[in-house]
Structure 1
Amino acid sequence: MDLSGKVAIITGVSKGIGRATVELLLARGMQVAGWGRTAPADFQHPRFHFIECDIRQEAEVQKAYQATEKALDKEVHVLVNNAGLGNFGPIDGFSSEQWHEMFDTNVHGLFYCTRAVLPAMKRQQLGHIINVASLAGTAGTANLAGYCATKYAVRGFSDALFKEVRPQGVRVTCVMPGSVETNFGGKEPGQEPDPHKMQPEDIAAAIVHALEAPQTVMISELQMRPTQVK
C-alpha cells in the first residue's frame, strides 16, 4: 500500500517503538494521530497530532477516534496497537491490580481501539491493523506468566481477526519482537546500542514493511529476534 497522504493511528507514542513508528510513518508522508497518556517529548511535526487518551477507558477511545476524524478530516487507513506494559514476577508475588492493569492495556484497550476503526475500514474496503505482541506470545517464561497470557491473547485475537475481515480487504498483522532496547519494564536504554538487542527503529521498519506490501499480500505474523544472543 502506498502510505503517502494516508492516515494512521498509533497508540503508546511517548517513546520506544511507538515514537519510532510515528517518525517513520511521517517520513513516508502519512498523517499520524498519536494516542496516549503522555505526548512524545520535544517532538512536533505538522502532520502529527497528539490526542490524549487512556486506551483502558472505552469512552476515551471513542472520544479519541472522533477527535482524530475531526482533526484530520479523512478516514483512517492504519491502526498500530502498540501501547502495552508488563508486570513481572511470580504468580503469587504480584497483585490482582497489576494483573488487571496488564489485561486492561494489552488486551482490552487493543480491542477498544480495533473496534473503533473497523467500521470505516470495512466501508472503504481498505485498512491495515498492526498488533504489537511479543515472542512472549509464543512460549511461556517463568515470572512472566501474566505478561505472556496477555500476548498469547493478542496473538489469538490477531489470528481470528484477519480471517474475519480479509473478505472486506482489511489486513491484520501481528508483530512479535523479542528483546528490544527500550524503557520497557522501567529500564533505561544504554548510551551505546546493545548488540544483543534490537532497536525500536528496527521494529518500526518491520511495521512499515508489512504496511507497504502489495494490497494482494498480507503478512499475518512477523517474529523478530536479535541476530546474536548473549
Structure 2
Amino acid sequence: MLEKLRELRDLNGKLVLITAASSGLGKLVAYEMAMRGANVVLCARNLTALRKVADKCKEISQTNSYVVELDVSDPDAIDRQLSHILQDIGPVDVLINSAGFGIFEPFQNFEMDKAENMFRVNVLGLMYVTQRIAQQMIKSGRGHIFNIASVAGKIATPKSSIYSATKFAVIGFSNALRLELRPLGVQVTTVNPGPMDTNFFRRTPESSKYFDSVKFLALSPEKVAHQITNAVGYTRREINAPLYMEAIHRGYEWFPTLGDRLASSPLFNRK
C-alpha cells in the first residue's frame, strides 16, 4: 500500500481538492500544488474570489483548475457537490480540509448558536467531506488527507474555549482515522499551525485585536503551504509550526500545572 502512496510525491497530473481555497492558507496551498503540476479543485462559498485563485493557478503552471461553490456547514451541499466532483471531474488524490474559523470570546458570554456553527464548520463539515472522499480513496487504493487543525488543539488558552474544543476534536478524529486508513493506502496528516498572518483573524473586531497583540509571533502562511505540499505522499503524522510551539506542548504534557500558569500569563492571554 505504501508504494501507491509514494506515487503521490509526483504531483504532476494529480487531482487535489482544497476547501476554503478562496483565501488564506487554502489559497496558498492551491498555488503551491499548481506549481508542482497538480490539477486543483477549489471549493469555497465565494465564487468571485475562487475564480481569481483559479486564474492564478492556471497562470502559474497551465494546470487544470476547477471552481466549485461549497458551504461545508451544509451536509446536503457537500453530498451534492462532491458527487459532481467525483463523477464529472475525477477521483481525488489529495484532500486539504482547510475550512474553519474562530471566534475568541469568554465562554460565559459566548452565544451558543455561534458555537454550534463553529462545530458545524470546523468539525462536522470536515468529517462529512473526509468520509466521502476517503471512501473514494480506499477504492483507488491510495490517497492523502490533510486536516488543518491548530496549535490551539494542543494548547488551550483563555478566550479560545470553543475554538480549542473544535481543534482538539479535529486532532482526535484525525489520530483515529489515521490508524483506520493507513492499512488501506490512505495517509492522514494533521497540520497544527500557530497564528498566521492571514484574514483568519479579521472576522470580528475581537479577533483582529487579538491578532494585533500576537502579530510578532505570526507564521508565514506561505511557509506552511510549502510544508504541506512537500509532505504529500509521505507517512508524516503531523506538521507542527512553529516547532517551538510543539516543544511547549510537550512541556505542557509533562508539567500541566506549570503549563496552566503559562497559558494564563500575559504572553498567551492577549485576546
CA spacing shift, 1:130–1:65, aligned 2, 3 Å: same
Counterpart of 1:63 (choices 64, 80, 94) is 80
Structure of higher CA gyration radius: 2
Does residue 174 (structure 1) correspond to residue 190 (structure 2)? The answer is: yes
1:46-125 paired onto structure 2 within 5 Å: 47-72=64-89, 74-125=90-141
* Pairing 1:24–2:32 present: yes
Cα RMSD over matched residues?
2.2
**Which of 207, 214, 227 is equivalent to 1:206?**
227
Larger mean CA deviation between 59-68 and 12-21 belongs to 59-68
Aligned length: 221
Percent of residue pairs bearing the same amino acid type: 33
Which of these residues, 12, 20, 30, is aligned with residue 4 of structure 1?
12
Structure 2 segments unaligned to the other structure (5+ residues): 1-8, 203-207, 246-266
Residue correspondence of structure 1 range 120-159 to structure 2 within 5 A: 120-159=136-175
Q: Summarize deviations over 1:167-214 as a string: whole Å, max 9, x none.
A: 1010000000012100112149x9xxx66321221111111121043x
Structure 1 runs of 4+ aligned residues shifted over 6 Å read 226-230
CA distance in 1, matches of 2:87, 2:123: 27
Helix, strand or coil for the counterpart of 2:21?
coil
1:25-53 CA-to-partner distances (Å, cap 9, x unmatched) read 01111111111111336331351111001
Give the TM-score taking structure 1 as reference length: 0.90
Gapped regions of structure 1 (runs ≥ 5): none
Structure 1 CA distance, aligned partners of 2:183 and 2:217? 40
CA distance in 1, matches of 2:96, 2:130: 9
Residue type at the aligned position of 1:174: T
Give 1:226 deviation, angstroms.
7.5
Residues 78, 129 of structure 2: 8 Å contact kept: yes
Q: 2 CA distance for matches of 1:174 and 1:227?
A: 17
